[in-house]
Amino acid sequence: MESLFSEKAWMLVWNFRGTFLFGFLNTLEVAVFAILLSLCLGLMFGLMSTGNKRSLKFLARCYVEFIQNTPLLLQICFLYYALSFSGHSIGIVASGIISIGVYHGAYMSEVFRAGIGSIPKGQFESAEAQGFGYAGVMRYVILPQCIKIILPPMTCQIVNLTKNTAVLYIIGGADLISTTYNFVTGVNTGGAYGPAYLVCGLMFFVICYPLSKLASIWEQSLKKRDVI
C-alpha cells in the first residue's frame, strides 16, 4: 500500500503516461473489432438456431456448445501458437480480435436466440400472411421487437468482452494489462504497483461504464416509446 501514496510512484506513472495510453488504445481497438465480429456471428448463428432447417440448427448448436465449453485462454493460445508454428502467423492483435470475437459470438448467439424465441409465434404467421419472406419477417417485424429484450444481456456480453481483452497478456499482447505489467516490472519503472494498476482499472472503467449507461438509457427510451 505504500506505493499507492508515494509521490514518486505517481510521478513515474505520469511520466510514462504514453505507455498506458498505448495499451488503452490497443485494448480499445481489439474490443471494438471483436464486438463487431461477435455481433455478426451472434446474429448469424442466432438466426440459424431459430430457423426451420435442422442442419443449420445443428451447426449452430455445435458452434455454441464447443465454444462455450472450452476456455477462452485455450482458444487464443491455440489460434496464435498453432498458426505461428505452422508459418501462418496473423499477429497478436488479430489473434485477439478473432478469438475473443468468436468466443463471445457464441454467447451473443444465445442472446439473439432467446430474444427471437420470446416473440409470440403469431407474429411470424401474421407477417408471413402479409407476404414477407423469412428475411423480411426478421428485419421488419421480429428483430425490431427483440431490441429491448436482448439489450441488457447484450450489453453485459459487450462489457465482459472488453474486460476479456486482458487475455492478450498470455500471448504477449500490447494491451492495457500487458503494458501495465511491463511497466510495474520494468528496470526503471518497477515498484509503482498501486498507482499503475489503479490507473489501469480506471481506464477499463472509462470504457465499460459509459457502455452500460448508454445501454440503460436506450432501454428506458424504448420502454417509454412502447408506453406512448
The pLDDT tens digits for 28-54 are 999 999 999 999 999 999 989 987 889
Neighbour count for residue 210 (Cβ, 10 Å): 10
The residue-averaged pLDDT of 159-167 equals: 92
- Alpha-carbon distance of 197 to 191, in angstroms, equals 11
Pair 196, 188: CB distance under 8 Å: no
Distances (CA, A) of 206 to 71, 75, 138, 212, 213: 27, 27, 35, 11, 11
Give the pLDDT of residue 136.
79
* Torsion angle defined by CA atoms of residues 112, 113, 116 and 122, in that order, rounded to the nearest 10 degrees: 170
- pLDDT above 60: residue 198: yes
- Alpha-carbon distance of 23 to 182, in angstroms, equals 11
Percent residues over pLDDT 90 in the chain: 38
- Alpha-carbon distance of 182 to 187, in angstroms, equals 9
The residue-averaged pLDDT of 152-158 equals: 89
The pLDDT tens digits for 113-137 are 998 888 888 777 787 777 777 777 8
Give the pLDDT of residue 202.
93
The residue among 77 and 2 whose pLDDT is bigger is 77
pTM score above 0.75: yes
- Alpha-carbon distance of 4 to 1, in angstroms, equals 5
- pLDDT above 80: residue 187: no
Quickly state the pLDDT bin for 192 (edges 50, 70, 90): confident
Give the pLDDT of residue 160.
92
Pair 164, 104: CB distance under 8 Å: yes
Residue 164, all three cell numbers: 476479456
